[in-house]
Amino acid sequence: MARDVIVFDSSASSTTLIHAPTAYETTMTHRGMASILLAIYQGYCEALFEALAEHSPDELVEIVREGRAPNSRLTYAAEILGRHVASPRAVEALRNLLDHPSPLVREGAVLGLEPHLDRHDVKEALHRAVGRDPSPGVRRALAEALES
């Protein structure tokens, strides 16, 4: 499946078509696209996660699943993943973050899971977490998510 080659202008939050893809570009893997986007954005940031959610959601799932971003960024990746990607792998990655050592990341996982509360496994995972999470802030986020 051919994809257009795009460039993201982070200062303008815009996407521009540069040219029709070459044979190499049409066979670029998701990880290759993510590497290009990471270089353009010069690090993990919300704009990168938004771009990955739109153009390479599997790579965003892997960033979250593997915890490749610093905690202060991983929380944003989790929120964005939950808002934009509804695949079982994405939801599983977010559920797994409920056990992350950082309360900041666990709260991001809660916010990422909130759009998926129609799923029994998500609701059950949040109910379990509310009774055992040591952070008052995360417990509050869990309670608010379950009330919505």
pTM across the whole model: 0.75
CATH number, domain with residue 112:
1.25.10
pLDDT at residue 95, rounded to an integer: 98
- Does pLDDT of 145 surpass 90? yes
**146: helix, strand or coil:** helix
Enclosing H/E stretch for 15? strand 14-19
Alpha helix stretches (DSSP H) within 68-119: 71-84, 88-97, 103-113
The pLDDT tens digits for 73-101 are 999 999 999 999 999 999 999 999 999 99
Name the residue among 49, 28, 29, 27 with its Cα closest to residue 38.
49
Report, as an integer, the average pLDDT of 139-148. Answer: 95
pLDDT at residue 70, rounded to an integer: 92
Domain range for 108: 5-147
pLDDT at residue 143, rounded to an integer: 97
DSSP 3: -
In the structure, what pLDDT confidence band is assigned to residue 117 with cuts at 50, 70 and 90?
very high
Q: How many domains does the chain fold into?
A: 1
The pLDDT tens digits for 11-59 are 444 444 444 444 444 444 555 666 666 666 667 889 889 988 998 899 9
